[in-house]
């Protein structure tokens, strides 16, 4: 299943009425809070949002749960007096409730499940909480079961020493390309080409599709750097450096992803998303 375009509406259909009711009650409670500044109403509002969060988690709408989780945290901060009831904050909460409701309604009429459509709401909630760490990637939940296409022929059989020499040479080529791409704008395209060739060379040494997946995706990332809108992103340097770290780990004999404690990519990805909470 393509997580960006396909979603099983069955489970959502069963709980949609309950979610709508909980969102409505959350909105009513927040309205009463704005009228009378009664913190108890914030608690009621947060309770109903938590019900929505739980239902969304059950039906597998992980990206939307990032938004409800942030909304809960904002309400909790206000309830406990850690966050002030400023104008922007008071506007962010009903906007989030309405945005979640609209997103679910759109899913029910056939719109694709793309949580990134909720990014403006998510960023608004983060700002109201005083956070600077919220990013679009928090709402990006790709299908991690995808594998590279089958090769026309098997990978060449290499001894451990031959493999080490290949990886060492390809890492040097990647680093050379990365340095050009970062420091010499006139040679940026040549640098990107060297990086891409290095990753192709590494991917060619990997036998199983699961071992090839990282290098296949890394090539796509380097390909995307042709687009100025991608290459100008502040996180690109970090990702490029992480790829180099992964080459080093492979050279050292480790197959763990750089920065990960498990080869279970799906589990690690989900844990990473939870750690990005404020």
Q: What does the pLDDT look like over 212-238, one tens digit per residue?
A: 888 988 999 999 888 887 888 777 888
Total length of the chain: 278
Is the pLDDT reported for residue 141 higher than 80? no
| Residue with token string 């890394």 | 218
User: 193 with 270: CB under 8 angstroms?
Assistant: no
> What pLDDT is recorded for position 274?
47
**For the chain, percent of residues with pLDDT exceeding 70:** 87
> What pLDDT is recorded for position 143?
65
**For the chain, percent of residues with pLDDT exceeding 90:** 48
Binned at pLDDT 50, 70 and 90, residue 210 comes out as: confident
**b/e per residue, 14-45, with b = 16+ CB within 10 A?**
ebbeebeebbebbbebbebbeeeeeeebbebb
Residues 74, 86: Cα–Cα separation, whole Å:
12
Residues 80, 75: Cα–Cα separation, whole Å:
9
Is the pLDDT reported for residue 245 higher than 70? yes
Residue 98: in which H helix or E strand, if any?
helix 87-108
**Selection from 83, 32, 29, 34 nearest residue 52 by Cα:** 29
Q: Side-chain half-sphere of 208: how many Cα atoms within 13 Å?
A: 3
> What pLDDT is recorded for position 276?
43
pLDDT single digits (tens) 247-264: 999 998 865 554 443 333
Give the 3-state secondary structure percentages of the chain, helix then strand then coil, rounded to 5. 70, 0, 30
**Mean pLDDT of the region 8-15:** 88
């Amino acid at each position: 299943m393509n997580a960006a375009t396909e979603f099983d509406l069955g489970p959502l259909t069963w709980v949609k009425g309950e979610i709508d009711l909980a969102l409505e009650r959350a909105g009513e409670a927040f309205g009463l809070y704005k009228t009378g500044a009664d913190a108890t109403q914030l608690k009621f509002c947060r309770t109903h949002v938590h019900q929505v969060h739980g239902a969304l988690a059950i039906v597998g709408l992980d990206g939307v749960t990032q938004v409800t989780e942030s909304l809960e945290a904002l309400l909790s901060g206000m309830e406990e007096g850690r966050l002030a009831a400023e104008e922007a904050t008071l506007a962010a909460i009903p906007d989030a409730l309405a945005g979640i409701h609209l997103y679910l309604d759109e899913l029910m009429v056939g719109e694709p499940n793309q949580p990134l459509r909720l990014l403006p709401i998510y960023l608004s909630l983060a700002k109201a909480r005083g956070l600077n760490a919220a990013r679009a990637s928090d709402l990006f939940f790709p299908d991690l079961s995808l594998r590279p296409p089958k090769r026309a022929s098997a990978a060449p059989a290499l001894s451990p020493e031959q493999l080490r020499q290949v990886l060492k040479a390809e890492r040097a080529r990647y680093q050379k390309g990365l340095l050009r791409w970062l420091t010499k704008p006139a040679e940026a395209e040549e640098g990107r080409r060297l990086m891409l060739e290095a990753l192709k060379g590494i991917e060619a040494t990997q036998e199983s599709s699961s071992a090839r997946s990282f290098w296949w995706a890394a090539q796509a990332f380097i390909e995307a750097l042709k687009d100025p809108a991608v290459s100008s992103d502040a996180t690109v340097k970090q990702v490029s450096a992480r790829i180099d770290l992964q080459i080093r780990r492979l050279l050292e004999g480790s197959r763990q992803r750089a920065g990960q404690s498990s080869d279970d990519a799906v589990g690690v990805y989900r844990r990473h998303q939870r750690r990005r909470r404020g």
